[in-house]
A and B are shown apart, each in its own frame.
Chain A
Amino acid sequence: MNQVGSFRREEKSIMGSSKKRTGTLISIQDSLVKARFYQDVIMGETAEITVEGKQLQAEVLQIEAESTGENTGIVEMQVFEDLTGAQIGDLVEFKGKPLSVLLGPGLLTSIWDGLQNPLYKLSEQNAYLVPGMKAPALDEEKLWNFTPMLKVGDIVKGGDAIGSVPEGRLEHKILVPFSFGKCKIESIEAKCELNITQQVAMIIDEQNNSHILKLVFHQPVKSPIPFKERAIPSDTISTGVRVIDLLAPVGYGGTVGNPGPFGAGKTVLQHSLCKYALADIIIMAACGERAGEAVEVFKDFAELEDPSTGESLMNRMCIFGNTSSMPVAAREASVFIALTVGEYYRYQGYNVILLADSTSRWAQALRERSGRQGDIPGPEAFPMDIPDQIKGMYQRAGADAGTGGSLTFIGTVSPAGGNFQEPVTQSTMDATGGFWGLSQDRADAKKYPAIDPLVYTNSVYDSFISDTDRNKILQTLHEANGIDQTISTIGLKKVPLDKYVQYQKGQTIDFCVMQQDAFHEIDACTRPERLGLINIAVQKLIDNPIEFSQNEMEDEELKAVVKTKFDELRQWWKDWNSSAQNEEQLDGLSNKIEQFIKQEEVVL
């Protein structure tokens, strides 16, 4: 944490001297600029560049001393906004703080750009995002009902709660900023209403400096908020998506990579997770993707119900929208900002799911930057250290036994050419505990969700069903796939009847269980109880041999009968998926399968 330390000292020295540190631009290319500075510059600190009277935000990437002048040097920076109109000699002011996110009540239901500017507030100024526009990250007027948890004289340290405010139905704890060591409370408000600009407490550190606390504080986005007691993810998340919950589940605090070529259904899957995954909070980082998709989430999903509370779905969400046409440099920031917000709520004991769509765009932003900086490129021109950067990012997810909270990170990957061998997909596979590979073939056949249960799908997390059952399903699907290939190479005639029945069983599991209609009100989400019933039916179908032979029928004729029977079963099951709701209807599935296995002649 040297970085934080140096920043804290810097903050003090600036406060002491109140002297501005400045520089002037000497080179401008796209979003990358160089400036000459005259005092000191800190790696990673932010700066403001004045262009045509507007202040544009930038971040320091590299510092070099200049051999000629005394105390001068050249600093390289990436600028988060369009630089049109910038000139040599434009003023740079260094801020002494690294890129930070404002944490506190009001985060939920918010919609920001990639740098935490609230988009609805910005739209009051202009319909377009013009460089230099700013607005406070959180509402400064809204009053929060503060209840203290500590009293004057109590000892606190960074991360300790001094009180709380209700935020929707959550209890939002007011924390001492994580950068603080041991401090004593000198004053604290009694139960009262406060906005985020007002003082809520005063604390004194061990050097006898006093600090004002408010309901909010800034946290550097590249310094992870610590765990109290990091734990292995143990509880399975009900995502509502059958193929995931059965075969490639994810636990609270887990990590999943979700690659797929375009058109394979990543977006629909992300939207399903937004709607149905059981969690306290969902954070969406729309990173370099279509604006329309983020808009659909915050405009249409607001009318949908949160599956656990019945309130508007937006009440459990916040969205960072650095969409594809927004400045590339802010893309990298947007994912780190979203992660930090996730860690903050995890520290408060909540289960948070972060959906980052897409991590490939994040990696591409790093590629564009390193290209401009003239770094020696790695595979496909990505920076050489991209695998480490990806691992570092996913490592910030996790479960915390100390707080009872968790941060689950589900990142989509958009592999170039749909090729999973490319560097970002490979590094993601290496970095995550679960992997949901979407297949072009399944998408082409409109088999959605196009997660291929047989290829590129795995998970280290527990499922809702036993490992034995999970393996039996996978094995049946594998066998059916093998027989399918045999049929396409040597023809149906030469395939033995029992193999054909096995193939039809696999087809049935695929069609009725693995495939799911994300747009149907009942079929779109399957909860564990229903999933249990389905699993019982599936296991019965797998375990029991079925006798079809009737009165010495010809082989070909018999296979046609088998196909018809299975077709009927599949049609019935599909109807069940989209209609069964009460107990009697739900039990119907198990009965239907038993009858089917015995091949009793009952009216369908």
Chain B
Amino acid sequence: MIRKEINRISEVGKALISVEGNPGVALNHVVELLEADTKQSLSFAKAINITEKSTRFQVFNGTQGLSTQTKIRMHEVPLTAGFSYNMLGRSFDGVGKVADGGPEVIFDKQVSTRLDTLNPTVRLVPKQALWTGIPMIDVFNTLVKSQKIPIFAGPTEPYNRLLSQIAQGAQADIIIFAGIGLKFDEYQYFKKQLSQSGNIDKTIMFSHLAGDSQIKGLMLPDVALGVAREFADQGKDVLVLLTDMTNWSNILRNVANYQDQIPSLQGYPGSLYSELAKRYEVAADIDGAGSITIIGATTLESLEDPVPDNTGYITEGQLFLENGKLKLARSLSRLKQAVNGKTRDDHRPIMTAMASLLAEAEKAYEAAEVGAANDAFSQKLLSYREDFITNMEEPFGEPIELELALDRCWDILKRHFEPTETGLSKKLIEKYWDL
């Protein structure tokens, strides 16, 4: 098939190029950039802004080395991703090209990366718990299949370790790893962990390393999620690990700035919320098919930063990692109510009781700093707080089953309080206090 070619690039910028006139490219369609003399393929690019006078493209491999002489070949289709079960166990880049040095993969089909919205009526109301063996998650913030939830953490926190721990025990048919702006050691760490836990054969890795072309990083979630969605459509339960969406948002910001868009907060484009939502909303339990669960990582300096702030409004809760501990106060699984009422009868009440005692304890802790926590109850609260942080907020270690974790909760309460101080009902106290 002969493809139309364009001969003159009018502008080469950071990550973007423009051509003059209207070559007949359609919005979001892909073109291939060719070396002028040898016609060797240099990169692909996507049309993002089209007018009568000029057309602008995002260049997947970056614009280094391009010139006004570079040729453009039109492909007349939007970006698709290759799909095949042969992808399992393999690594790909942000636009779905083999990136592990292994043989090329023969794809069964090409899937759309447009991430059309799933019709809400086709969604099931998620009701199936996803157990992790981590008490802070299973007791206090139970996860649910098809949930979308990020880990919020400072850049130096072990968020990738937590992500991989959750993945190891995950009840999923397929794991899609989507890493944007990774450091090489992080990439290796995940690969090793997934191999050691025996999950590598059901995993596909899409990785973009820090320093790789920005546009490839920008495209990566769409490619990874497009592939994940195809598995789900075929009836599989898919777990997507998305790290780190702050890196992705920063690429989005850079590219918006190259395009001279008017920034809203801290330089991010006004569309940040919609752009993040479009990716996270791919998580779904699909009626008559499989499911997609997204557990992500969002690094942050402050919760008020636009990326975590917008993410919090989009995702179904967040797990807050601080000083290596999963903090109860800011963590939340929005879907936990769908499952934690069907477990042991003390699950919900003890969760509420321990949480409000911890909030009181935090107040007492602040008071203690100015020497004002001198009454007996405040002292109880303070020792409870210590115990809680050590025994409940620790995410790493051997997995613990829910019932054992609940028993551990009662033990902690008994160590510090009288029954009435807990705010738990008489009925439950009678049932569990003197076990």
A binds B: yes
- Indicate if A39 sits at the interface (CB-CB under 8 A): no
Q: How many of B's residues come within 8 Å of A, CB to CB?
A: 88
Q: Is the CB of B50 within 8 A of A87?
A: yes
Does A310 reach chain B (CB closer than 8 Å)?
no
Q: Using known A-B contacts A88-B51, A130-B116, determine if residue A416 contacts B306 with beta carbons closer than 8 Å.
A: yes
* B371 x A491 contact (CB < 8 A): yes
Contact, CB under 8 Å: A491 / B373: yes
Does residue A602 face the partner (Cβ distance < 8 Å to B)? Answer: no
Assess whether A348 is interfacial by the CB under 8 Å rule: no
Whole-angstrom distance between the alpha carbons of A367 and B264 in the complex? 9
CB-based contact A325/B420 at 8 Å = no
Q: Given A85-B27, A364-B270: A563 and B377 within 8 A (CB)?
A: yes
Interface assignment of B363: CB less than 8 Å from any CB of chain A: yes
The answer on a CB contact under 8 Å between A88 and B22 is yes
Measured CB to CB, the nearest residue on chain B to A567 is B420
Which of A120, A288, A292, A567 contacts B126 (CB under 8 A)?
A292
A381 within 8 A of B: yes
In the assembly, what is the distance between CA of A83 and CA of B372, in Å?
63
Which of B126, B282, B359 meets A446, CB within 8 Å? B359
- Contact string, A255-295, partner B, CB cutoff 8 A, digits 1/0? 00000011100010000000000000000000011111011
Given contacts A328-B271, A417-B304, A519-B337, contact A574 B119 (CB under 8 A): no
Contact of A325 among B115, B262, B348, B360 (CB under 8 A): B115
A597 to B48, CA, bound (A): 72
Contact in complex: A325, B270 (CB < 8 Å): no
Asked whether B431 is an interface residue with its Cβ less than 8 Å from the other chain, the reply is no
Which listed residue, B28, B117, B270, B334, touches A291 by the CB 8 Å rule?
A: B117
Contact A290 B341 (CB under 8 A): no
A487 interface residue, CB < 8 Å from B?
yes
Contact with A along B153-194 (1 / 0, CB 8 A): 000000000000000000000000000000000000000000
Given contacts A447-B356, A574-B423, contact A491 B121 (CB under 8 A): no
Main secondary structure of the interface of B (DSSP, over half): mixed
- Min CB gap B64→A, angstroms: 26
Determine whether A371 belongs to the interface, using a CB cutoff of 8 Å to chain B: yes
A84's nearest neighbour on chain B, judged by CB, is B28
On whether the beta carbons of A489 and B370 are closer than 8 Å, the reply is yes
Contacts of B284 in A (CB 8 A): 291-292
CB distance from A577 to the nearest CB of B (A): 11
In this complex, what residue of A is CB-closest to B25?
A87
- How many whole Å from B36's CB to the nearest CB in chain A? 26
A559:B262 contact, CB within 8 angstroms: no
Interface string of B225-238 (1 = CB under 8 A from A): 00000000100000
**B25 pairs with A324, CB closer than 8 A:** no
A311 interfacial by beta-carbon distance below 8 Å: no
Cross-chain contact A294 with B271 (CB below 8 angstroms): no
* A29 near B304: Cβ-Cβ < 8 Å: no
> Is A188 an interface residue, CB under 8 A from the partner?
no
Contacting B at CB under 8 A, from A346-371, are 358, 361, 364, 367-368, 371
CB contacts (< 8 Å) of B52 on chain A: these are 26-27, 88
B24 with A323: CB separation less than 8 A: no
B201 proximal to A (CB < 8 A): no
How distant is the Cα of A321 from the Cα of B123 in the complex, in angstroms?
Answer: 13
**Quick check: is A171 within 8 A (CB to CB) of the other chain?**
no
Q: Which of A121-129, A396-404, A461-469 lies at the interface? A: A121-129
Q: Which of B120, B317, B329 contacts A323 (CB 8 A)?
A: B120
In the complex, A560 Cα to B378 Cα: how many Å?
11
- Could you list which residues of chain A lie within 8 angstroms of chain B, going by C-beta atoms? 26-30, 34, 52, 82-89, 111, 119-120, 122-123, 126-131, 261-263, 267, 288-292, 294-296, 298-300, 321, 323-326, 328, 358, 361, 364, 367-368, 371-372, 374, 377, 380-381, 414, 416-419, 444-447, 487-493, 511, 519, 556, 559-560, 563-564, 567-568, 570-571, 574-575, 578
New A-B pairs, 9, CB < 8 Å, besides A85-B26, A568-B420:
A123-B122, A263-B318, A298-B120, A367-B264, A380-B264, A416-B309, A446-B352, A490-B372, A491-B375
User: 28 interchain pairs (CB within 8 A)?
Assistant: A27-B52, A28-B51, A84-B27, A88-B52, A119-B121, A127-B118, A127-B289, A261-B312, A290-B314, A292-B126, A292-B335, A295-B121, A298-B120, A324-B277, A325-B277, A325-B278, A361-B273, A371-B264, A371-B269, A416-B309, A446-B355, A519-B341, A559-B375, A563-B377, A564-B418, A568-B420, A571-B424, A575-B425
